[in-house]
Structure 1
Amino acid sequence: MGPDKHGVRAGGRRGILATAVTVVCAVTVLAAPGTAFAAPSPTPSPSGSASASATPAPDKDLEAVREKLDDLYHDAAVATDAYNAAEEAADKQSAEIVDLAKKIVKGQRRLDGLKARAGRAAAAQYRTGGMPDSAKLLLSDNPSQFLDGAGRVLQGERATKALIRELTLTQQDLKQYAADAADQWDRLEAGRKAKAAAKKKIQQRIAAAEKLQSTLEKQQKERLAELERAAAYKAQTAWLDTGILDEIHSKASAAGRKAVAFATAQIGKPYVWGAEGPDSYDCSGLTSQAWASAGRPVPRTSQEQWKQLKHVDVRDMRPGDLIIYFDDASHVAMYVGDGAIIQAPRPGRTVSVGGAGAMPILGVVRPDA
């Protein structure tokens, strides 16, 4: 990495942004689109005075910082979706293992009981001399006894066959339960590793973003925030200029109104990756909990929400619908009407209102179709 900010100050008080650009070049990230920002608003005018300790940074350099931060936070968002998916899968697999364990215990008790019945039958035969009932029947001199005994023999043979069949099936069930449990354990372990890898990636990307921002002075951070708002405002304006709002007239459903009310009540709460309330949320944690509160559970992750929920045209969307962003479905927000969304944007931000067109829209899904 480049020199730290104390070294920069000691070496002739060079511009802090030079260090930021060095960090940008040094951080290895996957190229990806930007992430969500705060609600769009007109770009504030730049500050007219320079910092006493640094020359005002050229916007093109700050723009490079902004784009790199977008990349880092996008990577963190993708990893967060992977983490949430692994956690959800782990919960299901753990429940499956518990259920299989109960079946194994119940099956073993049944098997023990069947074996005890077979043992008692064998003991009874031994006590009577070990002669099969069919042989005794043939040696009988009493016709009535013969006929009665014939019925008992048939019943006994059927019971024996049923017992053997039940023993065999129970043993097969136990074998299958054990194999299924072993498979679930393997999947659980694979999921644990995937979850750990995703967590590590999230932490690395967020740490890199925080380090990059720490190289900027106060004035540069303020200007960076202006550029972020300007980028979101420009995208939102371009979206509105298509005349899209003239075509969106659908009203919220009863469940949609409940979901919107829940999301609205969360405004101001911090974004925390992997969180689904009640004190903090990530993007899909907010949308999934909002719809759960409306009595319509939806998948936990934005990617699964995109895969599993009904797709609707942007022109047909209504308040409560979920807008999925970016080609990889790595972000989701709730449409609330008038071209606005409520979202949990990214680390360091809070649940807030934004422009629906401020990010690249992949599509819209409806939880209560």
Structure 2
Amino acid sequence: MGANGYRPPDDDRVSSRTDVLGDLPQRHAREDLIPIIAREAQNASNVNPVYFEYFQRIKTGRRCSCWTVEANPQGICPCCFGTGIVGGYNKRGTKTHTFDVTYQDVGAANVSPDYNSPTRPCYWSLIKTAVYGTLDFEVYLANNIGKVDLFGIKDFCPEGTEINYWVKSPGESRYTRASRESIECRLGQIKLQFRVEMKRASPTSPFPKLICIRISYRVQSHTEIRANIPRVQESLTLEEFGIYQSFTSQPFWLDNTLKNISTEDWMYNTLDSTRWKAIEVTDNKPHGILTSWDLTCRLIQSFEPYSLVPLGDVVKNKLPEYVKSIQTDKEEEEFTYKSSTNHLRKPGNRGQTSTPEGPSVTPPGQTDVSNPKREV
């Protein structure tokens, strides 16, 4: 054997069965284990779920008229809710359209935006000498399930003025008064055509004003998400000084239903009607596969712009039965004395008690006023 082909014995070499595996553990994790973890996380979130409506900030779109020359958008603006982009926030599972003075391709007759007014945002109004005017615009619809989630109008009609809203589909010749029902039955069309009519009694009457129209419809059958949260920690340290209740941060755990979460989004708790703002977001992505989310949220106070965002249809039918009975049933104002053997009631019937068998019993020291002839 030549010198080049000689290999001395390697006595220190220890062989292992894992030598032949290579990247098999990583492949096994990506293809089998991690998808199982994600599925088990979804099942775990359904054990004791708290249902939320998720609102995501709109980051691209038309610049709101509340800060055309101002340095910052208005926090109480009904068009952008302080975000600077028309629409503000979009609810998960829905598509939102907002009509205001920045809307494109609007046909106006005797109506124009009033940019001279110091009020922000700008609004549509009749021109100075007109007593009647119209606005015509179209809304192109996305694929949807045929259900309206929200139809809201922000306008102002002083005495002697009037604003009417009409809608029709491209195949119709006459307009129908715009309402939630009339819009919902036309969601199967490609687009909707709207008309706004403004009227006032005389040229000296005040002007009617239209700020915005908000239309939202569902593109998914279910908009709610499930989350697991521990007990809420509440701090009343500042209450003795007359300051509102201060809540500490609250951890939230979500499955992988949501694919993207940012600290600019917020959620609405359908159980106790509280709103929570995400301040810290951590995604669990082993091998780039999303399995769950860890969030840290804070309670939104009533004076913040998030409290102005309309909620639309909120899920209420998934509350536990005992919670619904507490929220809907009225407690009896008068306490009815019953015998100790009849203290049980059926769940959900908080104000109902069955009549005990035998003659009624009057508590000691009281008089039966229902029967004046009865002696106690």
More RCO (CA 8 Å, sep 6+): 1
Larger relative helix fraction: 1
TM normalised by structure 1 equals: 0.19
From the CA coordinates, give the structure whose radius of gyration is larger: 1
TM normalised by structure 2 equals: 0.19
